[in-house]
């Protein structure tokens, strides 16, 4: 097995609190997406909601994926003032959250 390339993925899986409106949720998602324009180390952003038929989501509803060139680039992102400002808006609106960083790996068969 080998790493696909130097990229590192930053995955945020969350569930918004029940009292957070859809309008506020949409605003927060747009704010998250805009970080790619404000933080140079953040290379891409994608998001979606759970569509699994397995029903193993444990109540989590939203997935946010960002790409970075290195683990060090994620550290720069986490410490960046715009990320800190945004995280202080997002995290209080989440009922629960999991954050995982990983390097994609190719399985050679």
Domains of the chain from N-terminus onward? 2-106 (3.30.70.100)
Q: Is 23 exposed, middle or buried (0-12, 13-18, 19+ CB in 10 A)?
A: exposed
Tell me, what's the pLDDT at 107? 85
pLDDT tens string 55-96: 888 999 999 999 999 999 999 999 999 999 999 999 999 999
Whole-number average pLDDT of the chain = 94
Catalytic center residues: 77, 80
At 47, the pLDDT band (50, 70, 90 cuts) reads: very high
What's the distance, CA 40 to chain centroid? 16
pTM of the model: 0.90
């Amino acid at each position: 097995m080998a790493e696909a390339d130097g990229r590192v993925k930053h995955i945020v899986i969350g569930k918004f609190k029940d009292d957070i409106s859809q309008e506020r949720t949409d605003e927060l998602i747009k704010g998250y997406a805009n970080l790619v324009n404000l933080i140079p180390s953040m290379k891409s952003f994608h998001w979606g909601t759970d569509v699994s038929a397995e029903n193993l989501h444990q109540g989590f509803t939203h997935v946010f994926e960002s790409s970075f060139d290195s683990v060090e680039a994620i550290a720069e992102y986490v410490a960046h003032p715009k990320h800190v400002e945004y995280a202080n808006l997002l995290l209080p609106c989440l009922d629960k959250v999991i954050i995982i960083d990983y390097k994609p790996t190719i399985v050679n068969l």
